[in-house]
Amino acid sequence: MTILGRILAAIATLALVVAGVLFSVVILAIALVAGVGIAGYITWKTRKLRKAMRAVEGRVIEGEVVQESPSRIDVDRRSP
């Protein structure tokens, strides 16, 4: 390979690397704008729900529900 071929190959390689980096930056910028847009849309659409949740804060009763099996309930109902 001649020196001219090596120089042309190096220039072509450098051009491809620069083009790849520029393409990546553009894709990253598009993804960032899309992500911010989606987050803003979700925030805007859920604002009433978040306001309602803040209004009931402190009035939540925690507990546990125990449900018997249906066959057990039927047996108990038939017993006097």
Question: Where are the domains positioned within the chain?
Answer: 21-53
The separation between the first and the last C-alpha atoms of the chain, rounded to the nearest angstrom, is: 104
pLDDT bin (cut points 50, 70, 90) of residue 3 is very high
What residue type is assigned to position 24 of the chain? S
Is the pLDDT at 77 greater than 70, yes or no? no
Per-residue pLDDT of 6-54, as tens digits, reads 999 999 999 999 999 999 999 999 999 999 999 999 999 999 988 888 8
pTM of the model: 0.55
Which ranges of 1-80 would DSSP assign to H, the alpha helix?
3-45, 47-55, 70-78
